[in-house]
Structure 1
């Protein structure tokens, strides 16, 4: 038995151990694909009008808006696609984490909504931070290429 295995808590229902082991990678893959597709869906409208958020990003102090708005659009749309397929997962998820951290500030502070107004952004930031740190698993293009950041 490895040291890692001995440090894990024992299951209350040991018979479920095989089920948990079998679903482990699949559940992580579903979360990554869903997060990526939802991020790309959110960025789809922005990618159709990449300069449309110029005023909003400038109101947050990001000048010039003509630079930051297309970058925001590309991060959400193309980054979401990359996360979903598991290609360059860590850098794409890291970029999206930064974007979503700004949305926490926007909703929580600028809009004055506090934690309750920023809760979705907080959740999204943490999900993407997980993939920025963890990377993609074996069900990804990164794994098929045999390389990842």
Structure 2
């Protein structure tokens, strides 16, 4: 079997590399923090009323709703906090990605909104997939602890 090694691509304009390379880690950190904080704000209403979405989750086929509704609230709110600070980043991002894939189904199929209704959820799911696979970077609690899952 052939081993594939990844070599960083060479810049077309090497002089510009000095401009954007220092922002590599910062941009990734900013994406992680913003995605996490936006998920927290989205989950805030649910965490304040954890049983408020019982009907919706049961309408999607998740029974019993009294179990799934608080789990949804906790995943969005606490999962967002964990992703934002970079603690247990991979499992928190994976759980968030699953929630967002369900919203893709909800908007695209259940509400019959197609791609137009589910495109934001697809983008969000892709962002959380990135962090589920990649984990956090040097600017995270995981890095400060020296361990990642």
TM-score, length of structure 2 as denominator length: 0.94
Partner of 1:14: 14
Tell whether 2:35 aligns with 1:27. no
Q: Which whole-Å CA distance do the structure 1 matches of 2:75 and 2:49 have between them? A: 14
For structure 2, list consecutive stretches of 5 or more residues without a partner in the other structure: none
Give how far 1:21 is off.
1.8
Cα root mean square deviation, aligned: 1.0
Write the mapping of 1:1-149 to structure 2, written as runs, cut at 5 A. Answer: 4-5=6-7, 8=9, 10-149=10-149
Give how far 1:54 is off.
0.3
TM-score, length of structure 1 as denominator length: 0.94
Give how far 1:20 is off.
2.3
SS of the residue corresponding to residue 87 of structure 2 reads coil
Q: Which whole-Å CA distance do the structure 1 matches of 2:6 and 2:64 have between them? A: 50
Answer with 17-26 or 133-142: which moved more: 17-26
SS of the residue corresponding to residue 139 of structure 1 reads coil
Give how far 1:19 is off.
2.3
Q: Which whole-Å CA distance do the structure 2 matches of 1:19 and 1:83 have between them? A: 28
Aligned residues: 145
Give how far 1:44 is off.
0.3
